[in-house]
Amino acid sequence: MQVHELKRTNRNKKSRQGGRGGKRGKTSGRGTKGQKARAGRKIRPEIRDLIKRLPKKRGYAFSSVKEKPVIINLKDIEKNFKDGEEVNPESIQKIGLISKKNLKRGVKILSEGDLTKKVVISNCSFSSKTKEKIEKSGSKIG
């Protein structure tokens, strides 16, 4: 006996068809009723709701979802830095006041607390009240 002479023990099943012919009967595998059972059905994608909630762009370079800078207070600088040290986003990150992934957002210094040490502050933004306190303490902004 050779491979081409082998015969099956079970015959092939024949697919049963409904009275009107075709592969599936009645609801054709769509379940019953409702929007999903209708011809030409289209269900709105869920992400559209999220897209619709976002504000529209207005004008050139408009960004509605800007990341705000990380906030550091003067009391944090007073506590973590020594006299004469340089305060910038990299040095603040090395100390552990901000995470590495938040470094690109920038740093804003606010006026909570007092500054008595003389430090050099660079690459940071600050409020007007903070600027007065920094200059009063004898620190430099550079």
Tens of pLDDT along the chain (142 residues) come to 899 999 999 988 887 776 666 677 777 778 888 888 888 888 888 899 988 888 777 777 777 677 889 999 999 998 999 888 899 999 999 999 999 888 888 899 998 988 888 999 999 998 899 999 888 888 888 7
Q: What total number of domains does the chain contain?
A: 1
Torsion on CA atoms 85, 86, 89, 90, rounded to nearest 10: -80
Domain membership of residue 31 (yes or no) is no
User: What is the average pLDDT value for the chain, to the nearest integer?
Assistant: 86
Q: Is residue 126 part of a domain?
A: yes
Map tokens 């200059």 to a residue.
135
Asked if residue 3 is part of any domain, the answer here is no
- Domain residue limits at 109: 70-141
**Domain of residue 100, CATH code:** 3.100.10.10
In a domain, 88, yes or no: yes
Give the integer Cα–Cα distance in Å for 39 and 123: 62
CB within 8 Å of 53: residues ≥ 6 apart: none
Residue 16 forms part of a structural domain = no
Q: What is the pLDDT of residues 113-140, one digit of tens each?
A: 888 889 999 999 988 999 998 888 888 8
